[in-house]
Structure 1
Amino acid sequence: MDDLTWTLKQLCRRNRDGSFATQADRQRSLTLMARQLRDAGFNQMQARSLKGKHVDALLSQWQAQGLSTGTLKNRLSHLRWWAEKIGKGGLLPADNRQLGIPERQYSTNQSKAQTLDERLDTIRDPYVKMSLRLQAAFGLRRQECIKFQPTWADRGDHIALKGSWTKGGKPRSVPITTPQQRAVLDVARTLARAGSLIPAHKSYIQQQHVYDGQCKAAGLSNMHGLRHQYAQARYEALTGWQAPAAGGPTARDLTPAQRQIDAQARQIISHELGHERPQIVTLYVGR
């Protein structure tokens, strides 16, 4: 292991910001940067050696690869973290546009929603099947629906999600608004009892592999689409009309009163999905 990779690993171990998943993503990203800098000819680096020329070299590689705006923003956030932890936060401007990175476009009316169909019956692992049903019922992320502890989470009129289950380590709640949600939660409680949807003899990573393998074998892909379906259903329940991505009216078709309802619905859905910015909801429900 070269000096840069080693010292970046040590930097990550000393600064455990965010959830376990966030920490793992950050370390993978920084390890990739170390390799890319080495490939660019910077062979005598350590973590504290980071300079503007290294930032420029990484940006040039990433842009040449044609990476999406979202991927570029994620990598830049990890690069900023690195710079800040070594006392060089000023190496990168706060605004990505100064680096030639455009704003991410959230406006899309193409639906990515998915529903569970008869393929769910081909899932053999009862914990994976239950995770998928919870994912669909409450708009959960994969990590959340696997780590989910039904008995602990069930608060009667809502479910509570621990920070250790969620992206970014931020706890949140999701309301129980339909009989179908209550029914799914009751079945989950019976299956998991006082535990989670990770079998007692498995770790989270092992169960994640089971989840991925079972979904692939069943022909189920991109199950993040279940969150899209949840968001669109919630939008319709909150507004009284279908989401733009589901064929409903677009923003320009709404009256001033409807636009106010639309804005309130997006704020609620943003919280339920675990996003801080309501504009990201556009990816799920359209504009």
Structure 2
Amino acid sequence: MGCCRPCKARRPAHRPAVHPLSPGHGLEPTNRLAAASAVGANAARRGGQQQDLGTRRQWCPVSLVVPVALSRSGRTETLTRPTSHQRQRTRPPPQGQPTDLTTENASSNRMRDLNYQLKQLCHRNRDGSFATQRDRERVLDLVANQLQEAGFRHLGATSLKPEHVDGLVARWQAEGLAIGTIKNRRAELRWWAEKIGKSNVIARDNHHYGIGNRQHVTNVSKARELQFSELSRMNDQYSAMSMRLQAAFGLRREESIKIRPEWAERGNILALKDTWTKGGRTREVPVCNAEQRQLLDEAKALAGRGSLIPADKTYAEQLRRFEHQCASAGIHRVHGFRHQYAQVRYRELTGWAAPAAGQCCELKPDHPLKAKRG
């Protein structure tokens, strides 16, 4: 006969009664009252919504602040709408127009946008060598700053106008910059105008801006000879060899550092790669005398099968080291060695000194150079 009541063996084990946590359980005594009030207010609000669902909720004019005990530390949340003065916005003046100094702070970010947009324009259009790209980016950054100083606000990369170009050229002329410097900066402005499809913004003729012609021939010599005392003050043998190659072959600074002497020597010529030269154009330099050949042998012994960049350095690091060595030795204007080489070659080819050295002569009709031109 079955038992009407479960036997003790089948009865579940006794479990302690679980009581629901009261509001504010686990909080400090000072915060329990605030927690209980917040829970009660939320329950009353939910009850009101169930009784009258058709009533539209309105925003309370007083901010409902969540108690500190229930919110995240260091933060207070409000449920109010933004006030009218927070929604007010000042309308900016027309784009590219000069403004007074009262809008200086408001427009500084937009002017930084112009610098950023021009920088991005340079990065998307990598025309020319690395040095050309670097110089272009620096000039355009200077242009953006000078437009800001002139009072032009809210400019973008596509906001270039003729009045901007006129103002910049007038400023450069007032600063007394060289004609070549002004033309170089104007060339960067023309590049900017072409990239944004506004080539007509800049006049085609330099005379429109009152820019004269460059003086390519001068009687002032920029040549300089390398002195042994200067060379002895350089304690880096790679930098010293690059300096000697500049003086002997008229190499540029980058060419004298990147050159691989064993590869470049081709009998009576010194072949220069396009990755070493300015503008990426290969060229050849003649080897004319025994001093040059001896210097090449010393360079090959120092560099081996590589270049005049040490194995543990990059080109940028060696370039900085070369500049530091020149400054320590008191050698400035190293491009003057290239001028000196050009004047020596001019004398070897013509028989007289170059015009920059103070002499100017007419070629005779039977001169080889005159016949070659004719």
Q: Is the 8 A contact 2:221 2:356 kept in 1?
A: yes
Are residue 126 (structure 1) and residue 240 (structure 2) matched?
A: no
Give the CA deviation at 1:230.
0.3
1:137 partner letter: A
CA separation of 1:216/1:107 partners in 2, compared to 1, >3 Å: closer, same or farther? same
- Aligned to 2:266, the other structure's residue is in SS state coil
CA separation of 1:143/1:258 partners in 2, compared to 1, >3 Å: closer, same or farther? farther
Are residue 149 (structure 1) and residue 230 (structure 2) matched?
A: no
CA separation of 1:102/1:263 partners in 2, compared to 1, >3 Å: closer, same or farther? farther
C-alpha separation in 2, matches of 1:87 and 1:134: 45
Deviation digits for residues 63-97 of structure 1, max 9, x if unmatched? 11110111111111111111111111222233323
What residue number does 1:112 align with? 222
Q: Which stretch of the first structure deviates more once superposed, 149-158 or 17-26?
A: 149-158
2:132 partner letter: T
What residue number does 2:251 align with? 140
Q: Is the 8 A contact 2:261 2:307 kept in 1?
A: yes
TM-score by length of 2: 0.65
What residue number does 1:184 align with? 295
Are residue 96 (structure 1) and residue 206 (structure 2) matched?
A: yes
What residue number does 2:45 align with? none
What residue number does 1:281 align with? none
Q: What is the aligned counterpart of 1:194 among 295, 301, 305?
A: 305
C-alpha separation in 1, matches of 2:131 and 2:372: 30
Give the CA deviation at 1:163.
2.5
Are residue 60 (structure 1) and residue 206 (structure 2) matched?
A: no
C-alpha separation in 2, matches of 1:263 and 1:209: 46
C-alpha separation in 2, matches of 1:31 and 1:176: 43
Q: What is the aligned counterpart of 2:346 among 227, 235, 252?
A: 235
Deviation digits for residues 149-208 of structure 1, max 9, x if unmatched? 222322222222222322222222212222222222222122122222222222322222
Equivalent residues in 2 for 1:60-79 (5 A)? 60-79=170-189
What residue number does 1:274 align with? none
What residue number does 2:125 align with? 15
Give the CA deviation at 1:258.
7.1
Q: Which stretch of the first structure deviates more once superposed, 131-140 or 183-192?
A: 183-192
Give the CA deviation at 1:99.
1.9
Q: Aligned pairs, how many?
A: 262
Larger radius of gyration: 2
Q: Is the 8 A contact 2:254 2:276 kept in 1?
A: yes
- Aligned to 1:106, the other structure's residue is in SS state coil
What residue number does 1:273 align with? none
What residue number does 2:68 align with? none
Q: What is the aligned counterpart of 2:273 among 148, 159, 162?
A: 162
C-alpha separation in 2, matches of 1:7 and 1:264: 51
Are residue 82 (structure 1) and residue 192 (structure 2) matched?
A: yes
Equivalent residues in 2 for 1:180-259 (5 A)? 180-247=291-358, 249-251=359-361, 254-257=362-365
1:250 partner letter: C
- Aligned to 2:183, the other structure's residue is in SS state helix
C-alpha separation in 2, matches of 1:140 and 1:155: 16
Q: Is the 8 A contact 1:5 1:31 kept in 2?
A: yes
C-alpha separation in 2, matches of 1:65 and 1:161: 40
Structure 1 or 2: larger helix share?
1
C-alpha separation in 1, matches of 2:171 and 2:329: 37
C-alpha separation in 1, matches of 2:209 and 2:366: 38
C-alpha separation in 1, matches of 2:372 and 2:158: 46
Give the CA deviation at 1:141.
1.5
TM-score by length of 1: 0.84
Q: Which stretch of the first structure deviates more once superposed, 226-235 or 98-107?
A: 98-107
- Aligned to 2:308, the other structure's residue is in SS state coil
C-alpha separation in 1, matches of 2:313 and 2:219: 40
1:261 partner letter: L
C-alpha separation in 2, matches of 1:151 and 1:47: 48
CA separation of 1:255/1:146 partners in 2, compared to 1, >3 Å: closer, same or farther? closer
